Amino acid sequence: MYPATQIMRHKDSVAYSFEPDIIHDVFGHQACLLIPEVNQLHHKCGLASIVSEPHERELLSAIFWFTFEVGLCWDSEDPSQRKLLGGSLLSGIIDSQVAMDPATKLEPLESDLSKILFTDIQYSDVQRRHIVCKPL
């Protein structure tokens, strides 16, 4: 079972919606959970959040945001190509176009994780900075 909102974005905001809706939940997250590796990572994040301290949850939340919401991963067959991973990217036309634009700044997930924690998260606008992880 996967809880999803019942809200549907307005026809004027089909390309970009700053709040989660059923398109975001179903096409952005639910579809990815069918990939065993993504499903396992979601599960591990959930378990980690249960036993973590508040400051650890902040870091976990930021990592979750920059991976499962607005993250990318390298293509396993062509490591020079990026693939969409985050639910916001998979459910938003403008978000996905920005993420796939060669001019968009990409940072490897393997870099200093403390930088992720102190990065401003854009909840209400298109993300201009993306974290890219190893192929799944």
The DSSP code sequence of 53-111 is: -HHHHHHHHHHHIIIIIT-EEE-SS-TTSEEE-SHHHHH-HHHHHHHHSTTSEEEETTS
Whole-prediction pTM: 0.79
- CATH number for 26: 1.10.800.10
Return the residue matching tokens 């992720």.
Answer: 116
Position 13 in a domain: no
Position 80 in a domain: yes
Position 12 in a domain: no
Q: What 3-state class would DSSP assign to 115?
A: helix
Position 2 in a domain: no
Q: If the chain, 136 residues long, is cut into consecutive pieces of 10 residues, what is the mean pLDDT of each piece?
A: 76 73 82 86 91 89 86 89 90 90 86 70 78 85
Domain residues for the domain of 31 are 19-133
User: What domain count does the chain have?
Assistant: 1
Q: What is the pLDDT of residue 19?
A: 75
